[in-house]
Amino acid sequence: MERTWRWFGPNDPITLAHIREAGATGIVTALHQIPGGTAWDDAAIAERKAAIEAEGLRWSVVESIPVSNAIKARTDQWRHDVDAWTETLRALGRAGIDTVCYNFMPIVDWTRTDLAWPLRSGLALRFDIVDFAAYDVFVLERDGADADYQPGVLADADERFRAMTPERKEELERIILAGLPGSDFAYDRAKFSDLLKVYDRMGRDELLQSLTEFLNEVVPVAEESGIRLAIHPDDPPIPLFGLPRIVSTEPDAAAVLDAYDGRSNGLTFCVGSYGSRADNDLPDMVRAFAPRINFLHFRNVTIEAPGVFHECEHLEGGADMVALIAIVLDEEARRRDRGRPDSRIPMRPDHGHLLAADPVRNANPGYSYVGRLKGLAELNGIIHALTAIHQ
């Protein structure tokens, strides 16, 4: 596996030199300064690539080219934004960058309700459906929101909302609507409510149809450009704000791959995202989809209750990371035997804890330096041990 690291560009307080010292060889990044619906030009790509290579690293994965709401909701701007996406793919192909991660979550990207949940192992990210419902129903006051939650969750949300301080309500709104790292949005309440109307009456079938139409446009361009696409699963893998989510389960992932049957249409297998649902059998999923896994996010979660989970240490939590890595190593061996050029799958440690000893205190939530360095070291240990056993 190729050891990679997510870097948020020149403004990231964690520098490329830090990353090299952590033991990564590949960089996962994007041109975050360019908004969705705008094509990336060759010069901007070349500038970022040169900065990465100057530190002896490789730009291994683009995460992400934003998929606009116009594409997902199939509005009048669809054609323009799809063309911008394919232009970007062609430019990345010319630059020799071969893997692109993206997601198809409507309006909100990955979502949490706490960014610094205290654990013995440091400060962690956490999602609590009760807090989320309290915001959705009683702060945002979304029309029909109360019908989207189980009665027990709704009752708990009402009680929690009544106990919330004004500061906590503002914090929740900031976390949920202002956007987490890598998200292509930063909404206020009015703008968010307007966007909800764009998705009015869109169900799972309609969103899957939008994704299918998108794939039919972009996968042929990816194939021509030598690029492997890798869709990231929903995070958390449940509907939010009454909006459908269509990359949450094993059948969902199978449907995405069936929508365009080509090797360039592949998956980002995020262990933490799929692992946030107890009904996802992770080893079975990795085995089933191994030939179409183009990128790996290794992180682990502990499910506290249905709809409630926190990020744990990379080798703790509900996922058997040793078993999953063993399956991936077997897939890499099969690819080598078949002469596939993508036999070395890029992986990155994801969502490390913020540790007391971390000198970089202002890193993006979930993207601490020492926490991810620790995770990368642990994952490297597993990879080396399993490789030695099978030699």
DSSP 8-state assignment for residue 154: H
Confidence (pLDDT) at 184: 60
This prediction's pTM: 0.96
Confidence (pLDDT) at 186: 67
Residues designated as active site: 232, 270, 297, 350-351, 367
Confidence (pLDDT) at 13: 96
Confidence (pLDDT) at 180: 66
Question: Which CATH code fits 2-111+196-390?
Answer: 3.20.20.150
Quick one: CA dihedral 326, 328, 330, 333, positive or negative?
Answer: negative
- State which amino acid sits at residue 50: A
Show pLDDT as tens, one digit a residue, over the chain (391 residues). Answer: 999 999 999 999 999 999 999 999 999 999 999 988 999 999 999 999 999 999 999 999 999 999 999 999 999 999 999 999 999 999 999 999 999 999 999 998 899 999 999 999 999 999 999 999 999 999 999 999 999 999 999 999 999 999 999 999 999 999 998 766 666 666 788 888 888 999 988 999 999 999 999 999 999 999 999 999 999 999 999 999 999 999 999 999 999 999 999 999 999 999 999 999 999 999 999 999 999 999 999 999 999 999 999 999 999 999 999 999 999 999 999 999 999 999 999 999 999 999 999 999 999 999 999 999 999 999 999 999 999 987 7
CB proximity list for 228: less than 8 A, separation 6 or greater: 98, 99, 100, 222, 263, 264, 266, 294, 295, 342
Confidence (pLDDT) at 182: 63
Comparing CA positions, the residue from 235, 320, 237, 263 lying closest to residue 286 is 320
Q: Which two tokens stand for residue 1?
A: 């596996």
Q: Where are the domains of the chain?
A: 2-111+196-390
CB proximity list for 153: less than 8 A, separation 6 or greater: 129, 130, 133, 307
Instruction: Tell me the Ramachandran region of residue 65: left when phi exceeds 0, alpha when psi lies from -120 to 50, beta otherwise.
Output: beta
